Chains A and B, each alone.
Chain A
Amino acid sequence: MKDEITREERVDNLKGMGCSRKRVEDARFTQGKGNYVDDIKLDGMLFGDFVRSPYAHARVKSINKDTALKVPGVLAVLTADDLRPLGLHWMPTLAGDKQMVLADGKVLFQGQEVAFVVAEDRYAAADGIEAVEVEYEELPVLVNPFEALKSDVVLREDLVAEDGSIPAGAHGPRKHHNHIFTWEAGDKDPTEEVIANAEVVAEESMYYHRTHPCPLETCGCVASMDKVNGKLTLWGTFQAPHAIRTVVSLISGIEEHNIRVVSPDIGGGFGNKVGAYPGYVCSVVASIVTGKPVKWIEDRMDNLMTTAFARDYHMTGKISATKEGKITGLQCHVTADHGGFDACADPTKFPAGFMNICTGSYDIPTAFLEVDGVYTNKAPGGVSYRCSFRVTEAVYFIERMIEVLAIKLNMDAAELRRINFIKKEQFPYKAALGWEYDSGDYHTAWDKALKTVDYDGLRAEQAQRVKDFKAGKTRKLMGIGLSFFTEIVGAGPVKNCDILGLGMFDSCEIRIHPTGSAIARLGTISQGQGHATTFAQILASEIGLPADSITIEEGDTDTAPYGLGTYGSRSTPVAGAATAMAGRKIRAKAQMIAAYLLEVHDNDVEFDVDRFAVKGAPEKFKTMKEIAFAAYNQAIPGLEPGLEAVSYYDPPNMTYPFGAYVCVMDIDVDTGVPEIRRFYALDDCGTRINPMIIEGQVHGGLTEALAVALGQEIAYDDMGNVKTGTLMDFFLPTAWEVPNYETDFTVTPSPHHPIGAKGVGESPHVGGVPCFSNAVQDAFRPFGNTHTNMPHDHWRIWRTANELGLHD
């Protein structure tokens, strides 16, 4: 048989790996045809919503439902007392703590769920909420974790023994009634010794402020208990639908096969949709009680004030070096504000996530990290907002410490990085705090970045600017922000990564249809990452069927194989690997079918793009399409009919994407307004599956980085009131605030991943935050600034200028 098209065209037709295939999801999203949880409308569906606490810390003396129950359309008001008989007034958190589903005698943060009003529609529910009478007795409020650790005020009476002693928590001994855990990594004494005897030591304290992932779609669910067949269906904004199914089964006692969890289209997650929230539990209970479907959807204020925040780390560091700038040791202490309940979403053994990646991209021989978790009167959470577990905090810490050390050494910060990078030949590199970095080529990336932006030219321009400023010729300073980051993503190896005891593998199941198209189902769930596009590309390259002929389905636990979901950039490293491995199983069977059809031995055929051909006789071949059909219509001796495969992939290691970012900023000293003149981002995420999607992910991650660095925060006043509960005050950048991003790349494939891919969705956020922050800080470096805390909004930048005496 003669080919009508060239091999190159056959490759193009597949739209496989490396191709900027357009996102298949966009047709429905851009036409308003997505199907989000709030689009789900079922017959007789009710609506539930919360009475929330106006106080940050108070006893709940009484709850009177009578008036509320008289509001037209209101059917029920649930309180902790109603849930107690079911044992559902508290629920387990992902961090080994427990959390009140509804206020059980007291409230611990403003906005806490106090009662759940179930009504015929959301308007009646809102009226019902107004009519519930709650009597509170205010208690002293603790919003500062350092004060909380000294205070006599007990936030969690449930965690203090009758005799007043403090029992150990899920992560070991507790030092104080408001203390949650101490977590250590590395070697304390040797690190202290190295630092004590070092030629140069730089120290800094920094506060990585509390912020929020703020997905455009808030959290919500629809619970529907079918009393006839005993089956509970729960649609919701779940980043980990299978884990939610298991949790619901464990806490409700409903057998897992009778629970179907579905994540429909999700409008962004960024970590906010990993955890389990009282709204889910109450909707399920309300559906069981009423026998009707019950919907709960947060509004924007609920979302910002109550469901999973991010960051809130008070970090103190010491970094030691030789006079020449070779780093010898690093010490980090974190006081972590977890709010009223410890609901951090981290693998079980890592209560501070992967904060122990805080040695960054540098060859640091000794290091020690200690994290103290603390209860305060703030909302619970502590999720990884567009990053792997606490990696943004870790990278911010080290990238600030490098800058602070550069100041101390009076050295260029780019050069200081260069002389401390882990060298290419050192990989796999075992870091002082325990991780084994799989691969990297930092020097190449750094040199490329600095050359592209003309780093030396920028520094010369900056020096001139300082002169002009001092001469009164300009009121604008110029900052050059640098950051070099290494992420740790793709959690993770089952030997050390689990959530609630569930190993963090992931999965893919493929069915090839007779006519040569396919469906693949995964244990992950896209929230905008474009899985339906990219996973089909991985498969196209692996099995030789066009990506356009492959449907990717995720999010329905009745059909998808078990997986731990999507967050921490784990989809491509884990589920993407499972996809490739399942594809290879398909290919292996296809090879046998092809050999049978071509009447040669299995080993005499070889895979070539979209077919198997006889070795040495490429004109003799069977396309994958033909092979697929044969799988269903031929009786092949020794082979079962059909063409299906499933793979559960337990990654041998994490992947370690890295990147080099540079930001050039002009800062108006008088108004505090920063203007981003240039942003260059070089990312190395290993093998690149879809360059266009990578670019989109980088743009999005950088924009969220800009937000966090320049103004986005969840701020509390002394009374524990949230000051930033709406998008007027919570900074969500628009096209207007966002600069043009220049993207670039190098490719250092992961040696242990089947296709060498590393994950990229979160890199730009992780690397972007310190880069924007460093640009602000760098502008003031010539005037004596060593460190100022984020967020760098106008008034705080102005304050820095003011404190440095730059206003007449």
Chain B
Amino acid sequence: MIPAAFEYYRPKDMDKVLSILEEHGDDARVMAGGHSLIPMMKLRMADVPHLIDLQDVGGMSEIEIGADTIKIGALVTQSDIIDHAALADVAPILREASLQIADPQVRYMGTLGGNIANGDPGNDMPGLMQCLDATFTVVGQDGERAIPARDFYEAAYVTAREDGEVLTAVTIPRPKGGHAYEKQKRKIGDYATAAASVQIVNDGGKCVSAAIAMTNLSDTPVFSKTAGDALVGTSVDDAALKAAVAAMLGDIDPTEDNRGPVAFKNHVAGVILRRAIARAWSRA
């Protein structure tokens, strides 16, 4: 649990960050809260000869609530999200999910940007961002570009972000309707056995839109469009729930680990999704 030697940088602006990234290429990595990266370095699973700490780079710690969208800086911590009353008003699912991530100590350090950029299928924010149809802003030597959350994840630890790019902010359309983030885990501080994010809109007893994403049930988060579609136009009755679960099960691809075998994970994914939809619908 001792990392290999590394060079530590703490630049004050993004240009400097980008230039160090450019200079060292693969050998450099940015660090936000460090609560995914440092454990990997200590296990010597990540080799980072040049570590760039983002903490002193300004402009990435704001939460801005606009008329249609919410913009959250990459360095906003999970704890900041929990504590932000106005954010909890407009997008309560962010708080509900953050409270189920890790433990308070980790949440004081862990950032939204790090959680998203990490690319670990166990992270909770990526699925949630897909459910909310967020857009990620990244900046590189060639300037800024926006990548939809639903297109961001390619495989475990592989994302659409280039090595030389830094994630600066997340933009989320203000969520509508009822929400739920449901997560089964073995203990506090554990990654999900299965987790589901659901955002659902009820118009006169009929579901008019539903977004569903699942966490830690594939090598990437799984946005299940078909599962959401199965609810639209229904009164979210038992048949609709069954259809949504069946659709979701077609999209996930869990693997066996210490949390349990595949059959168990599929079963729990179904149960968790059902509960999440029911709770979201009851709030819609």
Residues of A whose CB lies within 8 Å of any CB of B are 122-123, 125-127, 130, 299-301, 670-673, 711, 715, 723-724, 728-729, 731, 733-734, 736-737, 793-795, 798-799, 802, 807
Q: Which residues of A sit under 8 angstroms from B268, Cβ to Cβ?
A: 670-672, 794, 798
Contact check, B258 vs A724: say whether CB atoms are below 8 A apart.
yes
Report the bound CA distance from A728 to B4 in whole Å.
22
Say which residue of B187, B259, B261 sits within 8 Å of A733 (CB atoms).
Answer: B187
Contact check, B2 vs A795: say whether CB atoms are below 8 A apart.
no
Report the bound CA distance from A617 to B66 in whole Å.
89
Say which residue of B188, B261, B271 sits within 8 Å of A671 (CB atoms).
Answer: B271
Report the bound CA distance from A807 to B263 in whole Å.
12
Say which residue of B5, B188, B258 sits within 8 Å of A729 (CB atoms).
Answer: B258
Q: What 7 new A-B contacts, CB under 8 Å, besides A301-B1, A671-B184, A715-B258?
A: A123-B2, A711-B186, A737-B187, A795-B193, A795-B261, A798-B264, A807-B267
Would you list which residues of chain B between 102 and 137 have a CB under 8 Å from chain A?
103
Hey, what's the 0/1 contact readout for B67-98 against A, CB within 8 Å counting as 1? 00000000000000000000000000000000
Report the bound CA distance from A347 to B105 in whole Å.
43
Hey, what's the 0/1 contact readout for B120-164 against A, CB within 8 Å counting as 1? 000000000000000000000000000000000000000000000
In the complex, what residue of chain B is closest to A795 when comparing beta carbons?
A: B260
Say which residue of B5, B186, B261, B267 sits within 8 Å of A670 (CB atoms).
Answer: B267
Q: Which residues of B sit under 8 angstroms from A807, Cβ to Cβ?
A: 267
Q: Which residues of B sit under 8 angstroms from A794, Cβ to Cβ?
A: 184, 186, 193, 259-260, 264, 268
Report the bound CA distance from A723 to B44 in whole Å.
18
Q: Which residues of A sit under 8 angstroms from B261, Cβ to Cβ?
A: 795
In the complex, what residue of chain B is closest to A796 when comparing beta carbons?
A: B260
Contact check, A670 vs B271: say whether CB atoms are below 8 A apart.
yes
B23 on interface, CB distance cutoff 8 Å: no
Say which residue of A127, A672, A734 sits within 8 Å of B5 (CB atoms).
Answer: A127
B210 to chain A, nearest CB (A): 22
Q: Which residues of B sit under 8 angstroms from A802, Cβ to Cβ?
A: 263, 267
Say which residue of B1, B44, B103, B267 sits within 8 Å of A798 (CB atoms).
Answer: B267
Contact check, A736 vs B267: say whether CB atoms are below 8 A apart.
no
Report the bound CA distance from A301 to B258 in whole Å.
16
Say which residue of B4, B190, B264, B271 sits within 8 Å of A799 (CB atoms).
Answer: B264
Contact check, A734 vs B193: say whether CB atoms are below 8 A apart.
no
Contact check, A299 vs B1: say whether CB atoms are below 8 A apart.
yes
A contacts with B: majority SS:
loop
Contact check, A734 vs B267: say whether CB atoms are below 8 A apart.
no
* Pairs A–B under 8 Å by Cβ, sample size 25: A122-B2, A125-B2, A301-B1, A670-B267, A670-B271, A672-B268, A715-B258, A728-B189, A733-B187, A734-B187, A736-B187, A737-B187, A737-B188, A793-B186, A794-B184, A794-B186, A794-B259, A794-B268, A795-B259, A795-B261, A798-B260, A798-B264, A799-B264, A802-B267, A807-B267
Contact check, B2 vs A728: say whether CB atoms are below 8 A apart.
no
Hey, what's the 0/1 contact readout for B33-66 against A, CB within 8 Å counting as 1? 0000000000010000000000000000000000
Say which residue of A122, A125, A731, A795 sits within 8 Å of B264 (CB atoms).
Answer: A795
Report the bound CA distance from A300 to B43 in whole Å.
11
In the complex, what residue of chain B is closest to A728 when comparing beta carbons?
A: B190
A265 to chain B, nearest CB (A): 22
Report the bound CA distance from A736 to B268 in whole Å.
22
B243 to chain A, nearest CB (A): 16
Contact check, B258 vs A723: say whether CB atoms are below 8 A apart.
yes
Could you say which of B4, B5, B258, B259 has the most chain A C-beta atoms within 10 Å of its C-beta?
Answer: B258
Taking residues whose C-beta sits less than 8 angstroms from the other chain, chain B's interface range is 20 to 34
Report the bound CA distance from A671 to B264 in whole Å.
8
Could you say which of A301, A670, A711 has the most chain B C-beta atoms within 10 Å of its C-beta?
Answer: A670
Say which residue of A122, A300, A670, A736 sits within 8 Å of B188 (CB atoms).
Answer: A736
Report the bound CA distance from A748 to B184 in whole Å.
45
Q: Which residues of B sit under 8 angstroms from A130, Cβ to Cβ?
A: 4, 44
Q: Which residues of B sit under 8 angstroms from A729, Cβ to Cβ?
A: 258
Report the bound CA distance from A130 to B264 in whole Å.
39
Report the bound CA distance from A36 to B105 in whole Å.
24
B265 to chain A, nearest CB (A): 8
Q: Which residues of A sit under 8 angstroms from B272, Cβ to Cβ?
A: 671
In the complex, what residue of chain B is closest to A302 when comparing beta carbons?
A: B1
Could you say which of B186, B260, B263 has the most chain A C-beta atoms within 10 Å of its C-beta?
Answer: B186
In the complex, what residue of chain B is closest to A733 when comparing beta carbons?
A: B187
In the complex, what residue of chain A is closest to B263 when comparing beta carbons?
A: A802
Hey, what's the 0/1 contact readout for B240-284 against A, CB within 8 Å counting as 1? 000000000000000000111101100110011000000000000
A719 to chain B, nearest CB (A): 15
Q: Which residues of B sit under 8 angstroms from A795, Cβ to Cβ?
A: 193, 259-261, 264
Q: Which residues of A sit under 8 angstroms from B187, Cβ to Cβ?
A: 711, 731, 733-734, 736-737
Report the bound CA distance from A125 to B1 in whole Å.
11
Contact check, B2 vs A731: say whether CB atoms are below 8 A apart.
no
A185 to chain B, nearest CB (A): 37
In the complex, what residue of chain A is closest to B261 when comparing beta carbons?
A: A795
In the complex, what residue of chain A is closest to B122 when comparing beta carbons?
A: A728
Report the bound CA distance from A417 to B258 in whole Å.
36
Q: Which 3 A-B pairs have the closest CB atoms?
A: A795-B260, A126-B2, A736-B188
Report the bound CA distance from A736 to B4 in whole Å.
34
B65 to chain A, nearest CB (A): 31
Report the bound CA distance from A123 to B186 in whole Å.
33
In the complex, what residue of chain A is closest to B265 when comparing beta carbons?
A: A795
Report the bound CA distance from A733 to B263 in whole Å.
26
Contact check, B5 vs A123: say whether CB atoms are below 8 A apart.
yes
In the complex, what residue of chain A is closest to B271 when comparing beta carbons?
A: A670
B101 to chain A, nearest CB (A): 14
Contact check, A734 vs B189: say whether CB atoms are below 8 A apart.
yes
In the complex, what residue of chain A is closest to B268 when comparing beta carbons?
A: A671
A709 to chain B, nearest CB (A): 14
Report the bound CA distance from A799 to B261 in whole Å.
10
In the complex, what residue of chain B is closest to A711 when comparing beta carbons?
A: B186
Q: Which residues of B sit under 8 angstroms from A734, Cβ to Cβ?
A: 103, 187-189
Q: Which residues of B sit under 8 angstroms from A672, Cβ to Cβ?
A: 264, 268
A96 to chain B, nearest CB (A): 34
Could you say which of A122, A127, A798 has the most chain B C-beta atoms within 10 Å of its C-beta?
Answer: A798
In the complex, what residue of chain A is closest to B185 when comparing beta carbons?
A: A794
Q: Given the known A-B contacts A670-B271, A671-B268, are A731 and B260 also in contact in the complex, defined by CB atoms under 8 Å?
A: no
In the complex, what residue of chain A is closest to B264 when comparing beta carbons?
A: A795
Report the bound CA distance from A198 to B2 in whole Å.
61
Report the bound CA distance from A670 to B261 in whole Å.
15
B231 to chain A, nearest CB (A): 20
B273 to chain A, nearest CB (A): 12
Report the bound CA distance from A799 to B265 in whole Å.
11
A801 to chain B, nearest CB (A): 10
Could you say which of A671, A673, A793 has the most chain B C-beta atoms within 10 Å of its C-beta?
Answer: A671
A722 to chain B, nearest CB (A): 11
Q: Which residues of B sit under 8 angstroms from A737, Cβ to Cβ?
A: 187-188
In the complex, what residue of chain B is closest to A715 when comparing beta carbons?
A: B258
Could you say which of A127, A793, A807 has the most chain B C-beta atoms within 10 Å of its C-beta?
Answer: A793
Report the bound CA distance from A799 to B191 in whole Å.
21
Q: Which residues of B sit under 8 angstroms from A670, Cβ to Cβ?
A: 267-268, 271
In the complex, what residue of chain B is closest to A670 when comparing beta carbons?
A: B271
Would you list which residues of chain B between 178 and 237 have a CB under 8 Å from chain A?
184, 186-191, 193
Report the bound CA distance from A84 to B186 in whole Å.
46
Report the bound CA distance from A736 to B103 in whole Å.
10
Report the bound CA distance from A301 to B45 in whole Å.
14
Q: Which residues of B sit under 8 angstroms from A799, Cβ to Cβ?
A: 264
In the complex, what residue of chain A is closest to B187 when comparing beta carbons?
A: A737
Report the bound CA distance from A728 to B1 in whole Å.
14
Report the bound CA distance from A122 to B271 in whole Å.
47
B77 to chain A, nearest CB (A): 20
Could you say which of A122, A729, A807 has the most chain B C-beta atoms within 10 Å of its C-beta?
Answer: A729
Q: Which residues of A sit under 8 angstroms from B258, Cβ to Cβ?
A: 715, 723-724, 729
Q: Which residues of A sit under 8 angstroms from B186, Cβ to Cβ?
A: 711, 731, 793-794
Report the bound CA distance from A127 to B5 in whole Å.
9
Q: Which residues of B sit under 8 angstroms from A671, Cβ to Cβ?
A: 184, 268, 271-272
B21 to chain A, nearest CB (A): 25
Contact check, B4 vs A127: say whether CB atoms are below 8 A apart.
yes
